[in-house]
Amino acid sequence: MLHAKFKWVTISFSKLVIPFLVVCFTVLLIVFSGSNLSAAKNGINLWLNSVLPSLFPFFIATELLSYTPIISYLGRCLHRLMYPIFHVPGEGSFALFMGIISGYPTGAKIVSNFYENGICTRHECERLLAFTNNSGPLFIVGTVGSSLLGNTSLGFLLLFTHILACFSVGLIFRFWKYQKKEKETRFAPLSSTEHLSIRNLGEVMGNSIQEAFHTVVMIGGFVILFSVINSMLLQCHLYELLVQISSPILDFFSMPPEFWQGIYTGILELTNGVQAICQIPSKSLLPSLVYCSFLLGFGGISVLLQVWSILAKSHLSIKPYLYGKILHGFLAAFYTYAILQVFPLFPITLTP
């Protein structure tokens, strides 16, 4: 009886919490209308100036490549490498390479297409989700390293540890729902998309652009939405409240509160969090680099919801992606710290 009552309370809470948050969001839109308008404009500028030009061409390229036999050819060539290491077919190398090159959320989009087209099984796609959706080199080296930290070498360091953590997560998640009876020699058949030619090039390009534009507009909506949410939380002083609540932990580890405010911001939305951390004056860049590594690996709740929306049609589980990104963040932070301590080759001053 008590168990049934507890279950009813849990179900009622889950049904009420989302509507409650939506009501709060609507009320805060009105209360902080001035700052929300400015935040929305900043989100639109970020999407137009950074997200759209960097991701849109990659989305078109991946869509066009899906109309060619390149994915199947990669599967045949790299199956003996990908399956023993990651327990995924060779076609997964396409998602891995494109996810590293183009950044969030390209890897998840490709994996979702794999499942919908029958190229990979559900469990193989879930393994791929854990490590193929990553932050791109353009953002890590260009935005974080060159623009925010003022040092391209530091950007390459963050990129190296990011990719190293990516492969580490793949090795760990190779056991995710793995069964030995899976067919190791299975190859995806060459689909009708291999018949891409001059005759149907216009139609294929049109479909690719339309599909890519749909995805990048969805991402833009999330960027704008979370820019507004971040502004609301700042106006409500919620980040400061979180820092005060966690102050005993911060004091125990001797962590400056301003770093944790940036981390809380980055857990919600990656770009704003990394920017906040990089702008904190410090005698040592070590904590900034370590915290930035974590955020770049985790990706933030904004990216998590983008991936979730992409997976909605395929009904793939979001759990391996969430677990993989948390692990990716901690591993990237650990690798960055270890490299800077063991090989102090970069122009920064490390303080104990």
Out of 94-103, 138-147, 165-174, 279-288, least confident range: 279-288
Residue 29 confidence class, pLDDT cut points 50, 70, 90: confident
- Predicted confidence (pLDDT) per residue in 151-189, tens digit: 888 999 999 999 999 999 999 998 887 766 555 445 444
Look over the chain and give the mean of its residue pLDDT values, rounded to a whole number. Answer: 81
- Predicted confidence (pLDDT) per residue in 188-221, tens digit: 444 444 456 667 777 778 888 888 888 888 888 8
Q: CA–CA distance from 56 to each of 69, 139, 140, 304 (Å)?
A: 22, 14, 18, 19
How far apart CA 115 and CA 245 sit, in angstroms, is 43
State pTM to two decimals.
Answer: 0.83
